[in-house]
Amino acid sequence: MKNLVQSAAAAWLAALVLTACGGGGGDSPAGQGGPPLTVDATGVSSFDSTALSASLTILPVESLSAAEKETLAFMREEEKLAHDVYLQLDARWNSVTRVFGNIARSESTHTEAIRQLLLRYALPDPAASLSAGRYQDTRLQALYTQLLATGQLSLIDALKVGAAIEEIDIIDLNQALLTIDNQDIVLVYQNLRKGSRNHLRSFVGTLSNQGVTYVPQYLAPTDYQSIVSTPIERG
């Protein structure tokens, strides 16, 4: 599976490229127990563990393709990367903005949602014994290092890192959703994608408050505009 997106900065980012699709609606509703994703007024989008469990319970455990196994392992670590970067950026910039801390807490529920799928299918968890900032996927390890270094330079750089992470997540989730058909995985991925669109809106809005117009780094301009020109999506 091709992962992540192209970057002129380094060849390892080019190796992570995925097809850029873009985010509209189309995310499926939850089953019993209410929406699995809760969204606050600022767009911070977190999984409700009780509602997610109720939604997954009514869906079948289906056979897994090789692509589905691969994407579950990768998305577990990619969501962990978002959490870990935001946690570090919050430590650096929380005297100025709470956006990193708020979204880091949300991202912890995102990676946990993937972990629940790994448990459901009795698959190994690549992040089980890894501390913050550590990944089995060497490309994600390099990406973490690069993003964290950039985010330490200035608040504006840090906010752009946040927006870039959400762009990458959206692209990867779009691509993954083309290769999977298990209903429970689709449910989680569609809600992850919704959360990433909301978090992208949050970072772009925070940049706007700083007087900066964000230019997408990875999404196609039309796909980016279709996201940021629309309101926060609720659960």
**Mean pLDDT calculated for residue range 34-60:** 95
Question: How far is the C-alpha of 233 from the C-alpha of 29, rounded, in Å?
Answer: 12
Q: What is the DSSP string of 90-107?
A: HHHHTTT-SHHHHHHHHH
- In the chain, the DSSP E strands lie at 37-39, 45-47
pTM flag (> 0.75): yes
Instruction: Name the β-bridge partners of 37.
Output: 47
* Phi–psi pair at 142, nearest 5 degrees: -65, -40
Taking only the tens place, the pLDDT of each residue in 166-204 is 999 999 999 999 999 999 999 999 999 999 999 999 999
The answer to whether residue 38 scores a pLDDT higher than 50 is: yes
Confidence of residue 160 (pLDDT cuts 50, 70, 90): very high
Confidence of residue 235 (pLDDT cuts 50, 70, 90): low
Question: How far is the C-alpha of 17 from the C-alpha of 11, rounded, in Å?
Answer: 10
**Residue percentage of the chain with pLDDT more than 90:** 84
Tokens of 112: 């946990």
Q: How far is the first Cα of the chain from the last one, in angstroms, to the nearest whole number?
A: 29
**Residue extents of the structural domains in the chain:** 43-52+64-224
**Mean pLDDT calculated for residue range 57-72:** 96
Second-level CATH architecture of 43-52+64-224: Up-down Bundle (1.20)
Secondary structure class of 16 (helix, strand, coil): coil
